[in-house]
Amino acid sequence: MGFFSSDKDKDSKMPKQNDRYILAMEEFQKAKFSDDEKAREYLQLAFREAEHNIFDMHFWYNHAIDYYCRQLDDPEAEAKCLQLCKENMAMAPDIIAAYKNEYHKESLLDFIPPSIPAFLTAAEIYEANGEYSQAAEVSEKAADLHLRDGTPGGFKARKERLEKKLYRS
């Protein structure tokens, strides 16, 4: 038993991941910097394997969004990234509910929702393209879900800043 492990780890309540999903994601990770065609094939395979597990889907979207947002040489990558963000944002209430049900249960502590980077990514893309209204709308949805963006003011302050930009333009 390692320093950071315990007997509790053996009885983890984490839902079992699909082995084929895990394998496809491992192969995607190996290929994503060297072979875009293979990476996209494995990403698609992982999607099919993750379809029926909200936790796997959550992580799949995080990886897929990150992958497509880094494809600077592909003119269609930003549109694909934004489409994936929209799909993931639509799933956000279900993701949050699943996490709350699985991990928070009847705890007396305040629930902190999982990170859903799609909101921040979409807001940043819209803002970079001068689409302040859409960026503010995404930020408002994230704030309503009590998501965090890593800044002191959070998505609420981001929305206010974007609205100021909108009125100045």
- Whether residue 12 is contained in a domain is answered as no
- Whether residue 65 is contained in a domain is answered as no
Q: Residues 98, 131: contact at Cβ < 8 Å?
A: no
- Whether residue 45 is contained in a domain is answered as no
Q: Residue 115 and residue 101: Cα distance in Å, rounded? A: 16
- Residue 151's SS3 state is coil
- Whether residue 30 is contained in a domain is answered as no
Using CA atoms, how far residue 33 sits from 23, 39, 68, in Å, is 17, 8, 12
- Whether residue 37 is contained in a domain is answered as no
- Whether residue 52 is contained in a domain is answered as no
Counting the structural domains of the chain, the total is 1
- Sign, CA dihedral 1-16-20-38, equals negative
The CA-based diameter of the chain, rounded to the nearest angstrom, is 60
Using CA atoms, how far residue 19 sits from 53, 56, 125, in Å, is 12, 11, 34
Per-residue pLDDT of the chain (169 residues; tens, 9 = 90+): 444 444 444 454 555 668 899 999 999 999 999 999 999 999 999 999 999 999 999 999 999 999 999 987 788 999 999 999 999 999 999 999 999 988 887 776 788 899 999 999 999 999 999 999 999 999 999 999 999 998 889 999 999 999 999 888 7
Tokens 């995404």, located at residue = 138
- Whether residue 153 is contained in a domain is answered as yes
| Domain interval for residue 158 | 78-168
Q: Global pTM?
A: 0.84
- Whether residue 146 is contained in a domain is answered as yes
